[in-house]
Homo-oligomer: A and B are copies of this chain.
Amino acid sequence: MKAERAHFFNFLKEKGLKLTQQRETILNAFLKTEKHVSVEDLYNIARRKDSTIGQATVFRTLKLLAEAEIASHVDIGDGIRRFEHRYNHKHHDHLICLKCHKVIEAVDESIEQRQEALCKKFSFQPVSHRLEIFGVCKKCSGKVKN
């Protein structure tokens, strides 16, 4: 969490941008949570530290964090853009429960390797990818009803 902060402060300086109280508050709030947060989620969290903070600033700061490669987008399939930690976090796929909306993070190296091979087959240069598996989690499938 220290490294991310230093990285962001440096990113701002290099871009000729300013380090503001709001940006620091929002960064801290983001780093403190391990969830996949929407702009609104993070807005509500950050507001607890500084009630005068605006949604627009959270929106813009999250965008900056993505540019700085501290955050990245996640699409859980509900049409709302969410963000997760990226700095020093490995790539992973998501298993998303359709009932309780829990998100399991997982990686399978051989899936990753096979994707590389698949791209090669089409002379396609991969830049990024996303794999989301929708289904029912252990807890929810154990329930009798619903």
Contacts and interface: CB of A to CB of B under 8 A. Distances in A.
Contact of A130 (B111, B118, B131): B131
Interface residues of A, number: 34
Given A75-B75, A118-B106, A118-B111, A133 B129 contact: yes
Contacts of A132: 129-130
A127 B124 CA distance: 28
B119 A135 contact: yes
A126 B134 contact: yes
Nearest to A117: B108
A125 B110 CA distance: 20
Contact of A122 (B106, B110, B122, B128): B106
Contact of A135 (B111, B114, B125, B133): B125
Given A128-B134, A133-B129, A123 B141 contact: yes
A95 interface: yes
Nearest to A129: B133
A124 B106 CA distance: 12
A135 B135 CA distance: 27
Given A129-B131, A131-B130, A131-B131, A114 B122 contact: no
A124 B138 contact: yes
4 closest A-B pairs by CB? A123-B138, A126-B135, A129-B133, A125-B136
